[in-house]
Amino acid sequence: MTNPTSSGRLNMRLGYRFNLVGVSALGIILLWAGVALFAPQIIPHSVGEIVDADYFGPMSRDLWFGSDYLGRDIFSRILMGARYTLGISLAAVSIACFSGVALGMTAAVAGGWCDSLLSRFLDALNSIPSKLFGLVVVAAVGSSIPALIATLSVIYTPGAYRFARALAVNVNTMDFMVVARIRGERLPYLIASEILPNILGPVLADLGLRFVFIVLLLSGLSFLGLGVQPPYADWGALVRENIGGLPFGAPAVIFPSLAIASLTISVNLLIDNLPRRIRDRSAE
């Protein structure tokens, strides 16, 4: 979907071409990242403080997003929640994608028994439904933040592995791999500098997609009471806590859901409108 809206000169030097949708999506993501970083400094009320005698209060000057089921300020809780939703999801997706891609490339290049061993093991892991796997692990080791990150990355590693392996297998059949192999190169070099540069683009797009799935799974786990535990709360937990307010449209449940949707939609749009590297320089 290329819609050429950019002027000639500017993007020439940058070597990349952005389009409007991609830029605005990136803007929203950076906004949330900023919020996650500086949350403690910018929240109007402390997260645990009960500021409203009533509960599920409407939006007001003092409480921008109204109050939650206990009468606490939902706006501050969303800002602090950003830390957990973004933090946990980002950590989990980077671990999952890093290990998935590394294993995928190794399997593609090494081939033989190593490939089938890895594929079988990760395929088995893939067959256990993610939420139930999360349930068993959380029940076993409790749902501390590191345990959650570990669980989420284990759930999504097989997917990243399958994707990366498929890409790497294609690259592996290329002649430059034959040349490198016959030169006597070892596995690490073959992976790091021959295969990785070629599959980095699609892998990053896949990372974005997995990030969205992890945010949703984290909210799902929180909904089942297995995700982030009080006093901390990620957006999924906020929605769960205040789900009671949904029938009368309490902002306390609507805004966290909008926060989740805004993050996931902007990541999706960014993936579909990634800036494309320009190889047009030969024309100058």
Partner 1 sequence: MSDTTNWSCSDDATIENAIRRGASRRDLLKLMLANGVAMAAAGTIFGRASEAVAATPVKGGALKAAAWSSSTADTLDPAKASLSTDYVRCCSFYNRLTFLDQTGVPQMELAESIESGDAKTWTIKLKKGVTFHNGKELSADDVIFSLKRHLDKATGSKVAAIASQMTGFKAVDKSTLEVTLANPNADLPTILSMHHFMIVADGTTDFSSGNGTGAFTCKQFTPGERSIGARNPNYFKGGPNVDSFEFFAIPDENARINALLSGDIHLAASINPRSVRLLDGKDGLALSTTTSGTYTDLNIRMDMAPGNVSDFVEGMKYLVNREQIVKSALRGFGVVGNDQPVSPANAYHNAALKPKSFDSDKAKFHFQKAGVLGQTIEVIASEAAGSSIDMAMIVQASAAQIGMKLDVKRVPSDGYWSNYWLKAPIHFGNINPRPTPDILFSLLYKSDAAWNESRFVSEKFDKMLVEARGSLDQAKRREMYNEMQVLVSEQAGTIIPAYISNVDAITAKLKGLQPNPLGGMMGYAFAEYVWLTA
Partner 2 sequence: MTGNLVEIRNLRVEATTDAGRRVEIIKGVSLDIAEGEIVALIGESGSGKTTIAMTLMGYARQGCAITGGEVRVGGVDMVKLSEAERAGIRGTGVAYVPQSAAAAFNPALTIMDQVIEVARIHRLMSATEAQAKALLLFKALSLPHPETIGNRYPHQVSGGQLQRLAAAMALIGQPKVVIFDEPTTALDVTTQVEVLRAFKSVTAQHNIAGVYVSHDLAVVAQIADRIVVLKDGTVQEMGATNDILEGGQHPYTRELLAAFRPKAQQREPDGKSATKRPLLEVDNLTVGYGPRSRDGQPLIKAVQAVSLKLDQGRNLGIIGESGCGKSTLARAIAGILPAHAGDIVFNGRELGKAGRNRTRNELREIQIVFQHADTALNPAKSVEDILRRPLAFYHGMRGKTRDARVNDLLDLVRLPKSVRHRLPGELSGGQKQRVNFARALAAEPTLILCDEITSALDTVVAAAVVELLKELQRELGISYIFISHDLSVVEAICDEIIVMYRGQKVEQIASTRLAAPEHPYTRLLFSSVPKLDTRWLDNLERDAEQVRAYGHP
Partner 3 sequence: MRGQVSSLVVRRLLIALITLVIVSFAVFFATALLPGDTATILLGQSATPEAVEGLRKAMHLDDPAIIRFLRWIAGLFQGDFGKSYANNAPVATLISGRFVNTMKLAGLTAAIAVPLALTLGITAAMWRGTLYDRIVTVGTIGIISVPEFMIATLAVLLFAVYLKWLPALSLTNEVKSFHDLVRIYAMPVMTLTFGVSAQMIRMTRAAVVETLNTPYVEMALLKGASRPRLVLRHALPNALGPIVNAVALSLSYLLGGVIIVETIFNYPGVAKLMVDAVSTRDLPLIQTCAMIFCLGYLALITAADIIAVVSNPRLR
Q: Which residues bind partner 1 (CB under 8 A)?
A: 46, 48-50, 53-56, 69-71, 138-139, 142-143, 225-226, 229-231, 243-244, 246-248
Residue 73 DSSP class: B
Does position 204 interact with partner 3 (CB under 8 A)? The reply is no
Does position 6 interact with partner 3 (CB under 8 A)? The reply is no
Does position 274 interact with partner 3 (CB under 8 A)? The reply is no
Secondary structure (DSSP) of 191-243: IIIIIHHHHHHHHHHHHHHHHHHHHHHHHHHHHTT-SSPTTS--HHHHHHHTG
Secondary structure (DSSP) of 248-283: GT-HHHHHHHHHHHHHHHHHHHHHHTPPEEP-GGGG
Q: Which does 276 bind (CB under 5 to 8 A by kind): partner 3, partner 2, partner 1, none?
A: partner 2
- Dihedral sign from CA coordinates of 97, 99, 105, 107: negative
Q: Is the distance from CB of 223 to CB of 253 less than 8 angstroms?
A: no
- Out of 11, 47, 131, 205, which residue is the one contacting partner 3 (CB under 8 A)? 131
Rounded to the nearest whole angstrom, what is the least distance from the CB of residue 175 to partner 3 in the complex?
Answer: 22
Does position 23 interact with partner 3 (CB under 8 A)? The reply is no
How far apart are alpha carbons 51 and 62 in whole angstroms? 10
Q: Which does 231 bind (CB under 5 to 8 A by kind): partner 1, partner 3, partner 2, none?
A: partner 1
Rounded to the nearest whole angstrom, what is the least distance from the CB of residue 97 to partner 2 in the complex?
Answer: 18
For partner 1, the closer CB: 69 or 133:
69
Q: Which residues bind partner 2 (CB under 8 A)?
A: 2, 4, 6, 8, 11-12, 17, 174-176, 178-179, 181-185, 193-194, 197-198, 200, 276, 278-283
Does position 243 interact with partner 3 (CB under 8 A)? The reply is yes
How far apart are alpha carbons 12 and 168 in whole angstroms? 31
How far apart are alpha carbons 268 and 112 in whole angstroms? 36
Specify the residue for token string 């047009």. 280
Radius of gyration of the chain (CA): 22
Rounded to the nearest whole angstrom, what is the least distance from the CB of residue 151 to partner 2 in the complex?
Answer: 34
Residues that bind partner 3 (CB under 8 A): 1, 120-121, 123-133, 135-137, 139-141, 212, 216, 219-220, 223-224, 236, 239-240, 243, 246-247, 257, 260-261, 264-265, 268-269, 272
